[in-house]
Amino acid sequence: MSKDLSRITDIADLQRVARRRVPRMFYDYADSGAWTESTYRANESDFQKIRFRQRVAVDMEGRSLATQMIGQDVSMPVALAPTGLTGMQHADGEMLAAQAAADFGVPFTLSTMSICSIEDVARHTRKPFWFQLYVMRDRGFIEDLIGRARDAGCSALMLTLDLQILGQRHKDIKNGLSAPPKPTLANLIDLVTKPRWCMGMLGTPRRTFGNIVGHAKGVKDISSLSSWTAEQFDPKLSWADIEWIKRTWGGKLILKGILDEEDARMAADSGADALVVSNHGGRQLDGAMSSIEALPGIAEAVGRDIEVWMDGGIRSGQDVLKAWALGARGTLIGRPFLYGLGAFGQEGVRRALEIIHKEADITMALCGRKNLSQVDRSVLLPGAF
């Protein structure tokens, strides 16, 4: 481990380094929510309301966080969430994060709105990864994306349901978010202070949306991309579309963006393999319930019929263990790995995973448990949602 990384002891350390090294518009893209950001903040703060029961004089040897997510062996119940513009946090970011995840034994999920393409990531990582799909009006393009994911050996498809209409994210609007950044005076001044990032970008040809440019009708370059994306997200998405996608894909299907028990029951009835309790990291409906608060009711309602996972607000291994105790059988992390990526590239993603694993392992031990099969609500003090 490098000297810089040896001093990194928690996710907040990675966040501070990323803030210094990543251009403002891309750091803000990762580290912001919609409107007043109340749901974004609640995702984190609601975890702090949950307390553990400390146990002593119990056998703590031989611990393991290993489990399975949709039948896939994982070193801990964590997957890297699909995050747009990952390759703008660090050059070739999706490729680096996918390899770090594969090396650590956790799944990586590639976003439709990635900078590196499906094919780029498939060439760079040794293990199958998951692909996240947004539903566009152009169903031919969706069929093509699904086929490309299948050809690349993706082992699961994650369908995001909560972005039919884009929530208003004030920082992105104020920053004039674009990939690559437009050469405005404010952007150029900011980039001068980020030489490491600039050198990385000069060394890669991957600077715009690799899954879209050159693949979608009429999108030949960056100038035609923004109008296409503004028109293409489909507000008419329905459960019938999900049935069509499931048939077209033919493999493991994960539904992301569930925050309501009625929707969770419909997700279970759809035949999907897992659902993700999620409010899109607080980036869509501001004022919605936090993911961890919504989790217990959904897990109780449908946990026997479909795997229940959650994302939103996880910043530590303790948060992962709290989610497991409240019924999640998997978690997704977005911002923690993005901070690591922006700070130190592939090594930073690995460091984020190491931190989360160590925190979860030590916490499990101090609660008197040796493996996840022994972790349930009994490791928490009463009153946790």
Is 346 marked as a binding-site residue? no
Please tell me whether 142 is known to bind a ligand. Answer: no
134 is in an annotated binding site: yes
Question: Residue 62, annotated ligand binder?
Answer: no
Residues 276/29, Cβ–Cβ less than 8 Å: no
Q: Is 280 a catalytic residue?
A: yes
Residue among 19, 24, 7, 56 nearest 368 (CA): 56
Q: Consult the annotation and say whether 329 binds a ligand.
A: no
- Centroid of chain to Cα 321: 17
280 marked ligand binding residue: yes
Tell how strand 67-69 and strand 72-74 pair up. Answer: antiparallel
350 has binding-site annotation:
no
Task: Check whether 33 is labelled as a binding-site residue.
Answer: no
On whether 204 is known to bind a ligand per the annotation, the reply is no
From CA 377, how far away is CA 303, in angstroms rounded? 15
Cis peptide before 180 (omega within 30 of 0): yes
End-to-end CA distance of the chain: 39
> DSSP letters along 168-196, please?
P-HHHHHHT--SSPP--HHHHHHHHT-HH
304 annotated ligand binder: no
CA distances from 142 to 95, 232, 241 (A): 22, 11, 11
Residue of 90, 170, 280, 357 marked catalytic: 280
Are the C-beta atoms of 27 and 347 separated by less than 8 Å?
no
> 111 a known binding residue?
yes
Q: Is 291 annotated as a binding residue?
A: no
Specify the DSSP class assigned to residue 165: S
- The answer to whether the annotation marks 218 as part of a ligand binding site is no
The answer to whether 87 is a known ligand-binding residue is no
Q: Alpha-carbon distance 82 to 158, whole Å?
A: 9
The answer on whether 148 is annotated among ligand-binding residues is no
Cα gap 316→335, rounded to integer Å: 11
Q: Which long-range contacts (CB under 8 A, 24 or more apart) does 330-333 make?
A: 330/69, 330/74, 330/77, 330/78, 330/79, 330/274, 331/77, 331/78, 331/79, 332/78, 332/79, 332/80, 332/81, 332/109, 332/256, 332/276, 332/278, 333/78, 333/79, 333/80, 333/81
Residues 6+ apart with CB under 8 A from 13: 7
Q: Is 342 marked as a binding-site residue?
A: no
Residue with tokens 């293409």: 232
Question: What is the set of active-site residues?
Answer: 280
- The binding site for glyoxylate comprises 29, 132, 134, 169, 280, 283
- The binding site comprises 29, 82-84, 111, 132, 134, 160, 169, 256, 278, 280, 283, 311-315, 334-335
- The binding site for FMN comprises 82-84, 111, 160, 256, 278, 311-315, 334-335
